[in-house]
Amino acid sequence: MSIELGHFALILAAAIAVAQSLVGFVFWRIGGRATAFVRQAAVLQFLLIVVSFLALVQAFVLSDFSVALAYEYSHTLQPLLYKITSVWGNHEGSMLLWLLVLALFGAAVAVFGRNLPGDLLALVLGVQGALGAAFISFTIFTSNPFERMNPVPFEGRDLNPILQDIGLAIHPPLLYVGYVGLSVCFSFAIAALVSGRVDAAWARWVRPWALASWTFLTLGIAMGSYWAYYELGWGGWWFWDPVENASLMPWLAATALLHSALVMEKRVALKVWTIFLAILAFSLSLLGMFLVRSGILTSVHSFAADPTRGMVILAMLAVAIGGAFALFALRARTLRVGGLFAPISREGALILNNLFLSTAVVAVLVGTLYPLILQAAGGPMISVGAPFFDLTFGALMVPLLILLPLGPFLAWKRGDFIAVIQRLAGAAGLALLLMVVTVLLVGGQVSLATFGLLLGFWVAIGAIAEIVDRIRLGRIPFGQSWRRLKGLPKTAWSTALAHFGVGIAVLGIVSVSAWETEKVVSIGVGESVTLSGYEVRLNDVQQIAGSNYVAERVVFDVIAPDQSVRSAFSEKRVYTASRQPSTEAGILTYGLSQFYISLGDRDEEGNRVVRVWYKPYITLMWYGAVIMAFAGFLSLSDRRLRVGAPKTARQKPKQQPEPAE
């Protein structure tokens, strides 16, 4: 019964979304009662989708195979966690999760938007309602997760083994929060264009949402990269797979949006561009949805193909994106130009940042869509792989990273380039020194990698230098510097931290790309292979059984250069229900580096093919992403008060007699 109630709740949510968007668009200028209506509708829509989602989760947890989706993608023997994650390990269920996040954001805007002007709020929620109405209807009519089965099968067909992993519990929800959060920026942009209210305040309202989306996207992409790294057993962490690109493009656009919204908030410049980016970022996230769900391309991440769904999504995509950009073209001219600035200034630096980021979006977009377009036009079948992206994306990131530390040092409106260079000379020298020391330690010669290292150190140290400069360390007495340090606003910290994270990630990527070693050998029990000073001995082969799979577990002893011995386990699993095999790589972490063991087949003599990698400092790239995300949360925690009610803003002066918190 709860299933049917969940089904009804979803349909009702769709109807409410329709009403929400109609009322929002028709009565936005009235505000007042109409605004109250759309806010209530947004909250109700969220509650109903929660009911719907919980009903589906319950069906999976109880293995209720009268729900076709539960039969298709779960099994009675799955551990509880995977029964729950199986809910979104498929197209229909993941759509419902997507809708849940969309409704959550809509409700959040409704609840936190109390200090927004009533007309703007009605418009924003009207756009959110339209998105909700379109995508909930799409789910109900083309991919209904509540489809029933009669008679009820006794056993389910189980989830694809690759997905039976903790990664599925974390990666999609994080990513969806990121993708869908951008819908709020989109709605604000549409509302701004319709109402003509585009000012610094607009940027203030949008920034927290852009920041939240960006933070979750960062975490989601990093998590997805680590998941693919350990689960697929190919040793790689980024494949330039179209679906990975589909998540990278909104991230790049969101990064650009964060920075341009900063200019708009502080200097009331770049209005048109910021609005454009807000529309673009969400459009790219919809494009990603189309690529993943239409079956137009095959990828590790894509769902089973269904051309009908593809066409429907494409149509919705055309309406949403086309409509938004048409409105943009129509209204952008009426927006007034804001503050002036010199080419060399904080604004100028942020424009360059936006230029490189958006060009990178174009490069990735071209590389991702070119094979599809060529094939649709009857051209040859091609694939655009890592070499293309490494070249174009890499070339665009290099100048961005070189300029990155300079930006925060430049003053608004008019900056002094020479002075900034002088203030950063120390940081540049230190970065150079660190690079030389590293290269000497590794024993390599000068190459592209050494330049990459220099870039990484430069960005990371440049970020620290900004804090050092702000507290005037060494130029004023230490006690005063300390007080300044404690008094630094959180936004200063979050900027520096985020940039520091970028530098750290660059260091990880460069070192693993340049100094990774690998070997493929065939060894038997008791035999060993040596790689980069690590000796790997195949110690034992055991038969083990998990709850819904049986596996052959191979135990390796890894003897590190310091003679410490640790065990790594690689498994070849066969899942009972689907009879599908899956390989689990054995990974050992040494400090910041990792040792990775992937297992192949057994040959006639009982030897195993083993592929081992030594990945120096690889974890830095994920730590870098985590640092960036932490910076995002830090900045959000500071902004929390602003998104809240006007009361808190008015009380602020009383709460903060001294900037020391």
Partner 1 sequence: MTVWLFIGGTAVLVALALAYASRPKKGQTGVVLQSLSNEDHFKVQLAEIEADVKSGRLGETEAEAARAELARELIHHRSIAQAGLPEPSDRWVGPGLALASLSTVGLAVIVYAFIGTPDQPAAPMAMRVLEEGNPISFAQAITRVETQLLVTPDDIDGWQVLAPAYMRAQRFSDAADAYRRILELKPPDADTLTDFAQALLFDNQGVAPLEAIEALEQAVEMDPTHPRPRFFLAGDATRQEDWDNAITQWNELLSLATGDEPWLDVAKEGLSIAMARGELLPQKTIPQPSVLEDPAQAELIRSMVAGLAERLEQDGGSIEEWTRLVRSYLVLGETENARQAYEKALLTNPGAEERVELDALARDAGFTGENE
Partner 2 sequence: MALTRKQKRLSIIAVLGVVLALATTLILTALRDEIVFFFSPTELLERSELAGQSVRVGGLVLEGSWTKEGENNSFDVSDGASEVTVTYVGILPDLFREGQGVIAEGQLIEDGTFDASTVLAKHDENYMPKEVEQALKEQGNWQGKYE
**Of 516-545, which residues contact partner 2 (CB under 8 A)?**
520-522
In order, the DSSP letters of 261-302 are HHHHHHH---HHHHHHHHHHHHHHHHHHHHHHHS-SS--TTP
Q: How far is the CB of 304 from partner 2 (least distance, A)?
A: 6
Q: Extract the tokens encoding 584.
A: 């689990």
Q: Does 606 bind partner 2 (CB under 8 A)?
A: no
The answer to whether residues 127 and 21 touch, using CB atoms and an 8 Å cutoff, is yes
Q: How far is it, in rounded angstroms, from Cα 17 to Cα 521?
A: 59
Q: Would you count residue 16 as binding partner 1 (CB under 8 A)?
A: yes
Tell me the residue length of the chain. 661
Among residue numbers 137 through 176, which ones bind partner 2 (CB under 8 A)?
160, 162
Spatial neighbors of 644 by CB under 8 A, at least 6 apart, are 112, 114, 115
User: What does the buried/exposed string (b/e) look like for 122-139 if buried means 16 or more CB atoms within 10 Å of the residue's CB?
Assistant: bbbbbbbbbbbbbbbbbb
Among partner 2, partner 1, none, residue 483 binds (CB under 5-8 Å by kind): none
Touching partner 1, residues 28-47 (CB under 8 A): 29-37, 39-41, 44
Which range, of 86-94, 96-104, 161-169, 488-496, touches partner 1 by CB under 8 A?
488-496
Pick out residues in 388-407 that bind partner 2 (CB under 8 A): 388, 391-392, 395-396
From 27-35, 50-58, 508-516, 595-603, span contacting partner 2 (CB under 8 A)? 595-603
Q: Which backbone phi and psi does 592 adopt, to 5 degrees?
A: -100, -5
Q: 412: which residues sit within 8 A by CB, 6+ positions away? A: 266, 267, 341, 345, 346, 347
Task: Provide the minimum distance between the beta carbon of 170 and partner 1 in the complex, in angstroms, as a whole number.
Answer: 26
Q: Does residue 576 touch partner 2 according to CB under 8 A? A: no
Binding to partner 2 by residue 599, rule CB under 8 A? yes
Which residue from 137, 157, 139 is spatially nearest to 69, judged by alpha carbons?
Answer: 157
Number of amino acids touching partner 1 (CB under 8 A): 88
Quick one: what does residue 16 bind among partner 2, partner 1, none, with the CB cut-off 5 to 8 Å set by partner type?
Answer: partner 1
439 binds partner 1, rule: CB under 8 A: no
The Cα 358–Cα 364 span in angstroms is 10
Residue 23 near residue 37, CB atoms below 8 Å: yes
Which span sits near partner 2 by CB under 8 A: 124-132, 420-428, 554-562, 594-602?
A: 594-602
| Closest to 491 (Cα-Cα) out of 472, 473, 466 | 466
State the DSSP code for 612: E
Give the count of beta carbons closer than 10 Å to the beta carbon of residue 140.
17
Stretch that binds partner 2, among 252-260, 484-492, 577-585, 615-623 (CB under 8 A): 577-585
Q: Which of residues 232-271 bind partner 1 (CB under 8 A)?
A: 266-268
Q: Which of 307, 429, 489, 533 binds partner 1 (CB under 8 A)?
A: 489
CB under 8 Å, gap of 24 or more: what pairs does 593-598 form? 593/617, 593/618, 593/619, 594/618, 594/619, 595/534, 595/536, 595/558, 595/568, 596/235, 597/536, 597/556, 597/558, 597/568, 597/570, 598/233, 598/234, 598/235, 598/570
Which residue is listed with tokens 């729900």? 67
* Contact flags string 443-482 toward partner 1, x per CB under 8 A: ----------------------------------------
How large is the greatest C-alpha to C-alpha distance in the chain, in angstroms? 81
| Binds partner 2 by CB under 8 A, chosen from 308, 383, 651, 656 | 383
Name the nearest CA neighbour of 636 among 498, 501, 486, 464. 498
Please state, in angstroms and rounded to a whole number, the distance separating the CA atoms of residues 258 and 266: 12
Residue 387 CA to residue 240 CA, distance in Å, equals 10
Report the residue number, 265 or 347, with the smaller CB distance to partner 2.
347
Asked if 591 and 184 touch (Cβ cutoff 8 Å), the reply is no
Bridge partners (DSSP) of residue 332 are: none
Report whether 303 contacts 293 (CB < 8 A).
yes
DSSP states of 532-564 as a string?
Answer: TTEEEEEEEEEEEE-SSEEEEEEEEEEE-TTS-
Q: Peptide bond preceding 151: is omega within 30 degrees of 0, i.e. cis?
A: yes
Nearer CB in complex with partner 1: 197/602: 197
Residue 370 contacts partner 2 per CB under 8 A: yes
In the bound state with partner 2, the residue whose beta carbon lies nearer, of 372 and 559, is 372
- Residue 7 within binding range of partner 1, rule CB under 8 A: yes
Smallest distance from partner 1 to CB 15, Å: 4
Angle at 392 between CA 387 and CA 396, to 5 degrees: 145
Least Å distance, CB 88 to partner 2, is 17
- Note whether 114 binds partner 1 by CB under 8 A: yes
* Smallest distance, partner 1 to C-beta of residue 14, A: 7
**Which residues inside 315-354 make contact with partner 2, applying CB under 8 A?**
340-344, 348, 351-352
Cβ proximity of 86 and 159 under 8 Å: yes
Q: Count of residues binding partner 2 (CB under 8 A)?
A: 53
The stretch among 56-64, 136-144, 529-537, 579-587 that binds partner 2 (CB under 8 A) is 579-587
Smallest distance from the beta carbon of 490 to partner 1, in angstroms? 9
Residue 328 binding result from partner 2, partner 1, none, given CB thresholds of 5 to 8 Å by partner type: none
Site string for partner 2, 211-240 (x = CB under 8 A): ----------------------x-------
Query: Residue 616 binds which one of partner 2, partner 1, none, with CB within 5 to 8 A depending on kind?
Result: none
Q: Which stretch binds partner 2 (CB under 8 A): 10-18, 129-137, 146-154, 382-390?
A: 382-390
Partner from partner 1, partner 2, none contacting 32, C-beta within 5 to 8 A by type: partner 1
If binding is defined by CB under 8 A, does position 578 make contact with partner 2?
Answer: yes
- How many other C-beta atoms lie within 10 A of the C-beta of residue 232? 17
x-or-dash string of contact with partner 2, 347-366, rule CB under 8 A: -x--xx--xx--x--xx--x
By CB under 8 A, which span of 125-133, 374-382, 426-434, 526-534 interacts with partner 2?
Answer: 374-382
Please calculate the CA angle 136-284-224 and round it to the nearest 5 degrees: 85
Are 624 and 505 within 8 A, CB to CB? Answer: yes
502 binds partner 1 (CB under 8 A): no
Of 50, 115, 236, 392, which lies in the binding site for partner 1, with binding defined by CB under 8 A? Answer: 115
Minimal distance, residue 298 CB to partner 2, in Å: 5
Q: Which class for 657: exposed (0-12), middle (13-18), buried (19 or more C-beta within 10 A)?
A: exposed
Judged by beta carbon, residue 193 or residue 521, the one nearer partner 2 is: 521
Q: Which is nearer to partner 2, 129 or 242 (CB)?
A: 242
Region from 248-256, 333-341, 428-436, 450-458 binding partner 1, contact rule CB under 8 A: 333-341
Give 590-593 contacts, CB < 8 A, sequence gap 24+: 590/560, 592/508, 592/616, 592/617, 592/618, 592/619, 592/620, 592/623, 593/617, 593/618, 593/619
Residues lying near partner 2 in the complex (CB under 8 A) are found at 160, 162, 233, 297-298, 300, 304, 340-344, 348, 351-352, 355-356, 359, 362-363, 366-367, 370-371, 380-385, 387-388, 391-392, 395-396, 414, 520-522, 578, 580-583, 598-601, 603, 607, 609, 611
